[in-house]
Amino acid sequence: MPDQLQPGKIDGELTARGLRFAIAVSRFNSFITDRLLVAAVDALRRSGAQQGDVDVVHVPGAFELPLTAKKLALTGKYDALIAIGCVIRGETAHYDYVCSETSRGLQLAQMDTGVPVIFCVLTCDTLEQAIDRAGLKGGNKGFEAGLGAIEMAQLSRKLKSAVPRKTATRKARRK
Ligand code: INI
């Protein structure tokens, strides 16, 4: 008998085969968001996504991402969504409102619908910080978002198909 408890593990595999994704991407700061989008699609493709498995929707700015994500989730067509945006601090408080409502709205979208929404919205003080995270020194957050979407899609499928605890107990008793 092992003297240590071995917990059961439930992981989301990193394979995109057989899954469907939608990416909502903001046009604001498209110099950055275009690069995040290319990397996110690359991560999905290199993990097995096929032609037709990925839809891309453009929106004006980050503030429009939550409603779009929720509408995409409610179609029931997608296993996971990615929201891509880039908010760069300006001289006024606008930045704070856009950042907080975008993150809150995206969290609500996934909590309300049960469809994973990956948060790939850069919130930066400077353009240089954004560039670093869109393919330079900080890697590419779009690629990370692609992998995150695959993992969460797989994990959600597994958790959905798990037998509810009560049913499992009843079945065991009947035996
Ligand atoms: N939208 C962004 O995606 N990034 C920004 O940096 C930004 N700034 O700084 O203003 C921004 N504003 C637009 C906003 O997201 C909405 O599109 C707009 O307010 C209309 O609802």
Interatomic CA distance for residues 125 and 22, integer angstroms: 28
- Output the ligand 1 site: residues, CB below 6 A: 26, 28-29, 60-64, 85-88, 90, 94-95, 98
Q: Does the structure show a pLDDT above 70 at 89? A: yes
Residue 11, SS3 per DSSP:
coil
H/E stretch holding 172 reads: helix 165-174
Grade residue 6 by pLDDT with cuts at 50, 70 and 90.
very high
Measure 93 CA to ligand 1 centroid, in angstroms: 12
Is 34 among the domain residues? yes
Is 3 among the domain residues? no
- pLDDT tens readout for residues 15-67: 999 999 999 999 999 999 999 999 999 999 999 999 999 999 999 999 999 99
Is 167 among the domain residues? yes
What whole-number percentage of the chain has pLDDT above 70? 91
Question: Residues 134-151: what's their mean pLDDT?
Answer: 96
Q: Is the pTM of this model over 0.75?
A: yes
What range does the domain containing 159 cover? 21-174
Is 161 among the domain residues? yes
Is 11 among the domain residues? no
Interatomic CA distance for residues 113 and 151, integer angstroms: 18
List residues with catalytic annotation: 94
Angle (deg, nearest 10), helices 30-46 and 141-161: 50
From the CA atom positions of the chain, what is the Rg in Å? 19
Instruction: Find residue 54's DSSP bridge partners.
Output: 21
Give pLDDT, residue 168: 58
Is 92 among the domain residues? yes
Q: What is the CATH number of the domain that holds 93?
A: 3.40.50.960
